[in-house]
Amino acid sequence: MANEKRSSFSGKLGFVLAAAGSAVGLGNIWRFPYLAAKYGGGIFLLVYLILAVTLGFALMTAEIAIGRKTGLSAIEAYKKLDKRFGFLGWLAALVPVIILPYYSVIGGWVTKYLFAFVSGNGAQTAADVATFVDAEGATKAVSFFENFIGTVPAGLTYAEGFGAVSPWEPIGWFMLFIGATALIVFLGVEKGVEKVSKIMMPVLVVLSIGIAIYAVCLPNAIDGVKYYLLPDFSKFSVKTVLAAMGQLFYSMSLAMGIMITYGSYMKKEVNLESSVSQIEIFDTGIAFLAGLMIIPAVFTFSGGTPEALGKGPGLMFAVLPKVFEKMWGGQVIGTVFFLLVLFAALTSSISLMETVVSIVCDKAKINRKASWLIVFVGAVIIGLPSILGYNVWGEVKIIGMQFLDFFDFISNSVLMPIVALITCILVGFVIKPQAIIEEVELSAKFRRKALFVFIIKYAAPICIILILVSSVLDAFGIFKI
């Protein structure tokens, strides 16, 4: 790959759309709302926005500029900038390796929901499908989602038409999603998918606006709108900042070498700084809308209890079907919505798998087909514990987390901040910010130059170190944050 002449994106629009295609995905629609709900609503949103225009802006500018300057993908690019930093490419490459499998598990959940809606059973996804009696003798309802992923105890009475929990269901949908991703990568037809997604993406935006407007008009939703938009400073904690920072990296595909690769395909005359702004606005806009679709509805359907808000990865799957159920034409709207989400997820998973395949290809010096097979099989194997952890392995915990949450934690809250930190050190003190500034100024004047230097050299490294140390201590129970 490194020696081939690199093809370039035709212009600024081509570049921005391609990078946004990789950036916009489940991170925006599935992950952002559940984190915002869990970490205090408005305060999370505020911290996220501040980080986006400071850390996000600086890091994305640096990564794209590094890619364009060196014309190489991450592993080679860091090495070329400074031999001692070759390890950083490896560290960055580890992130997509960890993310791809569990990303595909969530992709499988989306596929399941799409099929439920397509087959006319959308309403079922909003229903309770079983009941069980707990230790105190109280009956509890089991939702469609809990039943599907299998987070429920055995020995329940099931509603008609529903079987007992089985790990094969989520495994099947996961295989379908990752199989589709792998097939597209194998056939090399990503371009076709990208073309379709360029049409789908604007439709997703329009539909999301419509659903969000509907959701905020539901009874009691106004309390949720306040919770989401008005920051409550008493809810601020280091955890909020860590969650927002990890989400920023995840959502904008930063600190994992992806934007370096995209930058390596960017033409010198394309305005780098304004491209960064456009990708950020697009990515953040979709995440914001997803929050508006989901968080106020939590107040409508569950009264905004801490338990409902803290639901975690299942939030979108629990809440949206209820919104669609109430909506006129909800069955059709739900179908279209999950189809669009599936496309957004696919463009991202394709870009994840493509990245991993080319790393294995280059580094193991094997051909593309062999590398593809290794990545596909490897991702399936690593994906399985993430499914089983929510299912028959419910008791297995790593530092108190299920597998999926653990993989998510290691990549977002540990690896990516480390990669970001070392990138800041490399740019701030080794190659010096001037090298990036010169690259940016090849196309236009760098307007936020001073801000960039301040963040890369001082603000970002200090903040990341503080957050990282306190969160690792917290994960091991040494220090509570």
Footprint of ligand PFF on this chain (CB under 6 A)? Answer: 22-23, 25-28, 96, 99, 250-251, 253, 256, 258, 348, 351-352, 355
Q: Where are the alpha helices (DSSP H) in 365-459?
A: 368-388, 403-409, 416-425, 433-440, 449-454
Residue 333 Cβ, how far from ligand PFF at the closest point, in Å? 22
Pairing state of beta strands 128-133 and 157-158? antiparallel
Nearer to ligand PFF, 320 or 388 (CB): 320
Look-up: residue for tokens 């940016």? 440
Sheet holding 157-158, edge to edge: 139-143, 128-133, 157-158
Nearer to ligand PFF, 32 or 214 (CB): 32
Nearer to ligand PFF, 27 or 330 (CB): 27
Cα–Cα nearest to 305, from 62, 52, 38: 38
Pairing state of beta strands 128-133 and 139-143? antiparallel
Residue 369 Cβ, how far from ligand PFF at the closest point, in Å? 21
Nearer to ligand PFF, 253 or 443 (CB): 253
Residue 65 Cβ, how far from ligand PFF at the closest point, in Å? 18
Q: Which two tokens stand for residue 111?
A: 């596929």
DSSP state of 5: P
Q: Which two tokens stand for residue 245?
A: 């920072």
Phi-psi region of 400 (alpha: psi -120 to 50; beta: other; left: phi over 0): left
Contact present, 7 and 367 (Cβ < 8 Å): no
Contact present, 247 and 27 (Cβ < 8 Å): yes
Nearer to ligand PFF, 142 or 193 (CB): 193
Nearer to ligand PFF, 212 or 341 (CB): 341
CA 233/CA 147 separation, integer angstroms: 37
HSE, side-chain direction, 13 A CA sphere, residue 239? 14
CA 379/CA 185 separation, integer angstroms: 14
Question: By beta-carbon distance, which residue lies closest to ligand PFF?
Answer: 27
DSSP state of 120: T
DSSP state of 432: -
CA 443/CA 421 separation, integer angstroms: 27
Q: Which two tokens stand for residue 381?
A: 């194997």
SS3 category, 169: helix
Nearer to ligand PFF, 99 or 387 (CB): 99
Nearer to ligand PFF, 221 or 356 (CB): 356
Nearer to ligand PFF, 256 or 357 (CB): 256
Residue 353 Cβ, how far from ligand PFF at the closest point, in Å? 9
